[in-house]
Amino acid sequence: MLLNLIIGEYSMDMEIQENYLETMTDSFDKMDQDMSQGVQLGQQWVEKPSQLQRCQVAADKLLSAIENHNETLAMLTGGYIVFHLSGIKQIKINTDGEPAETEFH
């Protein structure tokens, strides 16, 4: 599937294969276990993050992965979002240091 990423004025498509999602379910479960301990969402600590907040954290990590040319982390975090938000087509990633403002469509 193609996931459109909007980062500021920049737009790009990220292709995530269905078989990738199937092979990464253990990694996604591990990410969920880690985040169940709480997450830093911008300036705020969230003790029990909702699924939306977890995906916002993943989107923030996706942005960092793209900026650092880390394709492995980009695929992992993009895949995590697609795995948990069925039907998602686009992510508008907040670049102002406010991951809670990231939008999913």
* Whole-number pLDDT of residue 70: 98
Length of the chain: 105
* Whole-number pLDDT of residue 103: 98
Among 104, 46, 44, 98, smallest CA distance to 78 is for: 104
The series of mean pLDDT values per 10 residues for the chain, 105 residues long, is 96 96 97 97 96 98 98 98 96 95 97
* Whole-number pLDDT of residue 20: 96
- Give the start-end residues of each E strand in the chain: 2-7, 10-15, 39-41, 44-46, 90-93, 103-104
Contact (Cβ atoms closer than 8 angstroms) between residue 33 and residue 42:
no
